Protein backbone atom coordinates (compact mmCIF):
# COMPACT_ATOMS: atom_id res chain seq x y z
CA UNK A 1 0.00 0.00 0.00
CA UNK A 2 1.56 3.31 -1.02
CA UNK A 3 2.14 5.85 1.72
CA UNK A 4 -0.17 8.49 0.30
CA UNK A 5 -3.08 6.03 0.37
CA UNK A 6 -2.82 5.49 4.13
CA UNK A 7 -4.58 8.65 5.32
CA UNK A 8 -8.33 8.42 5.64
CA UNK A 9 -9.69 10.33 2.70
CA UNK A 10 -12.37 12.96 2.45
CA UNK A 11 -14.88 10.72 0.71
CA UNK A 12 -14.31 7.88 3.12
CA UNK A 13 -14.88 10.24 6.04
CA UNK A 14 -18.07 11.46 4.40
CA UNK A 15 -19.29 7.90 3.92
CA UNK A 16 -18.40 6.88 7.50
CA UNK A 17 -20.06 9.98 8.92
CA UNK A 18 -23.24 9.57 6.91
CA UNK A 19 -23.60 5.83 7.53
CA UNK A 20 -23.16 6.16 11.29
CA UNK A 21 -26.62 6.30 12.93
CA UNK A 22 -25.27 8.12 16.00
CA UNK A 23 -27.33 11.22 16.69
CA UNK A 24 -30.05 10.30 14.19
CA UNK A 25 -33.62 9.40 15.04
CA UNK A 26 -35.48 6.39 13.66
CA UNK A 27 -37.41 8.82 11.44
CA UNK A 28 -34.16 10.21 10.04
CA UNK A 29 -32.97 6.71 9.20
CA UNK A 30 -36.24 5.71 7.58
CA UNK A 31 -36.35 8.93 5.58
CA UNK A 32 -32.81 8.29 4.33
CA UNK A 33 -33.71 4.80 3.14
CA UNK A 34 -36.93 6.04 1.54
CA UNK A 35 -34.86 8.69 -0.23
CA UNK A 36 -32.71 5.90 -1.62
CA UNK A 37 -35.89 4.10 -2.77
CA UNK A 38 -35.35 1.21 -0.38
CA UNK A 39 -38.55 -0.49 0.76
CA UNK A 40 -38.15 -0.67 4.54
CA UNK A 41 -41.33 -2.70 5.10
CA UNK A 42 -40.14 -5.38 2.71
CA UNK A 43 -36.75 -5.38 4.43
CA UNK A 44 -38.42 -5.99 7.79
CA UNK A 45 -40.48 -8.87 6.37
CA UNK A 46 -37.36 -10.41 4.82
CA UNK A 47 -35.31 -10.14 7.98
CA UNK A 48 -38.11 -11.65 10.08
CA UNK A 49 -38.04 -14.68 7.77
CA UNK A 50 -34.25 -14.95 8.00
CA UNK A 51 -34.44 -14.83 11.79
CA UNK A 52 -37.23 -17.42 11.96
CA UNK A 53 -35.44 -19.83 9.63
CA UNK A 54 -32.07 -19.26 11.30
CA UNK A 55 -33.51 -19.88 14.74
CA UNK A 56 -35.23 -23.10 13.64
CA UNK A 57 -32.11 -24.40 11.93
CA UNK A 58 -29.93 -23.60 14.93
CA UNK A 59 -32.22 -25.58 17.22
CA UNK A 60 -32.50 -28.46 14.73
CA UNK A 61 -28.71 -28.57 14.52
CA UNK A 62 -28.46 -29.24 18.25
CA UNK A 63 -31.08 -31.95 18.08
CA UNK A 64 -29.23 -33.58 15.19
CA UNK A 65 -25.97 -33.54 17.12
CA UNK A 66 -27.60 -34.93 20.26
CA UNK A 67 -29.27 -37.68 18.27
CA UNK A 68 -26.01 -38.59 16.61
CA UNK A 69 -24.26 -38.80 19.97
CA UNK A 70 -27.00 -40.93 21.47
CA UNK A 71 -26.54 -43.27 18.50
CA UNK A 72 -22.84 -43.54 19.34
CA UNK A 73 -23.66 -44.30 22.96
CA UNK A 74 -26.06 -47.05 21.97
CA UNK A 75 -23.39 -48.51 19.69
CA UNK A 76 -20.97 -48.57 22.63
CA UNK A 77 -23.50 -50.53 24.66
CA UNK A 78 -23.84 -53.06 21.88
CA UNK A 79 -20.05 -53.55 21.92
CA UNK A 80 -19.82 -53.91 25.68
CA UNK A 81 -22.69 -56.39 25.66
CA UNK A 82 -20.82 -58.65 23.26
CA UNK A 83 -17.70 -58.73 25.47
CA UNK A 84 -17.75 -60.79 28.68
CA UNK A 85 -17.85 -58.62 31.80
CA UNK A 86 -14.65 -60.16 33.09
CA UNK A 87 -12.73 -59.00 30.02
CA UNK A 88 -13.69 -55.36 30.18
CA UNK A 89 -13.94 -52.69 32.80
CA UNK A 90 -17.16 -51.03 31.71
CA UNK A 91 -16.78 -48.19 34.18
CA UNK A 92 -13.37 -47.23 32.76
CA UNK A 93 -14.62 -47.58 29.20
CA UNK A 94 -17.58 -45.34 29.95
CA UNK A 95 -15.29 -42.83 31.65
CA UNK A 96 -13.04 -42.72 28.59
CA UNK A 97 -15.98 -42.32 26.26
CA UNK A 98 -17.45 -39.50 28.32
CA UNK A 99 -14.11 -37.71 28.56
CA UNK A 100 -13.69 -37.93 24.78
CA UNK A 101 -17.20 -36.84 23.93
CA UNK A 102 -18.13 -34.44 26.68
CA UNK A 103 -14.82 -33.22 28.07
CA UNK A 104 -13.09 -33.23 31.41
CA UNK A 105 -15.86 -31.32 33.21
CA UNK A 106 -18.41 -33.98 32.40
CA UNK A 107 -15.95 -36.73 33.28
CA UNK A 108 -15.56 -35.33 36.78
CA UNK A 109 -19.32 -35.29 37.23
CA UNK A 110 -19.51 -38.88 36.12
CA UNK A 111 -16.67 -39.93 38.42
CA UNK A 112 -18.61 -38.54 41.35
CA UNK A 113 -21.70 -40.35 40.08
CA UNK A 114 -19.83 -43.66 39.95
CA UNK A 115 -18.35 -43.06 43.39
CA UNK A 116 -21.72 -42.47 45.00
CA UNK A 117 -23.35 -45.46 43.38
CA UNK A 118 -21.86 -48.80 44.32
CA UNK A 119 -23.46 -50.69 41.47
CA UNK A 120 -24.79 -49.48 38.14
CA UNK A 121 -27.43 -50.92 35.89
CA UNK A 122 -27.49 -50.29 32.15
CA UNK A 123 -30.53 -48.11 32.76
CA UNK A 124 -28.57 -46.01 35.29
CA UNK A 125 -25.86 -45.37 32.72
CA UNK A 126 -28.39 -44.50 30.02
CA UNK A 127 -30.08 -41.98 32.33
CA UNK A 128 -26.72 -40.51 33.22
CA UNK A 129 -25.84 -40.04 29.55
CA UNK A 130 -29.22 -38.52 28.81
CA UNK A 131 -28.65 -36.08 31.69
CA UNK A 132 -25.26 -35.23 30.22
CA UNK A 133 -26.85 -34.58 26.80
CA UNK A 134 -29.34 -32.22 28.37
CA UNK A 135 -26.69 -30.47 30.43
CA UNK A 136 -24.53 -30.02 27.38
CA UNK A 137 -27.34 -28.62 25.26
CA UNK A 138 -28.03 -26.15 28.05
CA UNK A 139 -24.37 -25.23 28.08
CA UNK A 140 -23.74 -26.37 31.67
CA UNK A 141 -20.85 -28.54 30.55
CA UNK A 142 -18.58 -28.03 27.60
CA UNK A 143 -17.62 -30.45 24.88
CA UNK A 144 -13.97 -31.51 24.79
CA UNK A 145 -13.10 -29.27 21.83
CA UNK A 146 -13.93 -26.15 23.86
CA UNK A 147 -11.64 -27.05 26.76
Partner 1 sequence: MPNNDDVLKLLESADWNNIIVQLTRYASWHASWYKWKTGGYGQLPGGMTPEDIAKNAIKKVWSGTRSWDPEKYPDLLIHLQWIVDSDLNHLFNSKEHLTTNRIIESDEEESKELTYNNLIHNSSSLNEAIHYKTPEEDLIIQEIKGREEKAQKELYAMVKGDEDLELLLSCFEEGIDKPELIAKEMGWDVTKVYTLKRKLLRKATAIMKIMEQD
32 versus 111: smaller Cβ distance to partner 1:
32
In sequence order, what DSSP letters do the residues of 44-59 get, joined into one string?
HHHHHHHHHHHHHHHH
Nearest 5 degrees, angle CA 85-CA 132-CA 126?
Answer: 35
84 versus 139: smaller Cβ distance to partner 1:
139
List Cα–Cα distances, 108 to 5, 57, 99, 114, 132, in angstroms: 57, 32, 9, 10, 12
Minimum Å distance from CB 69 to partner 1?
Answer: 15
**Residue 5 neighbours by CB under 8 Å, 6+ apart:** none
Minimum Å distance from CB 45 to partner 1?
Answer: 10
59 versus 108: smaller Cβ distance to partner 1:
59
- Would you tell me which residues interact with partner 1 (CB under 8 A)? 1-2, 4-24, 26, 28-33, 35-36, 38, 40, 43-44, 46-48, 50-51, 53-55, 57-59, 62, 137-139, 142, 146
Minimum Å distance from CB 87 to partner 1?
Answer: 39
Amino acid sequence: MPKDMQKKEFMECLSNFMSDPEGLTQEDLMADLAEQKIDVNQLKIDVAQIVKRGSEEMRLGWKRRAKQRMGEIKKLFEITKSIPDTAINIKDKMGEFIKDNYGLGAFKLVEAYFRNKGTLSEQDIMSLLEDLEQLESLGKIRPKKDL
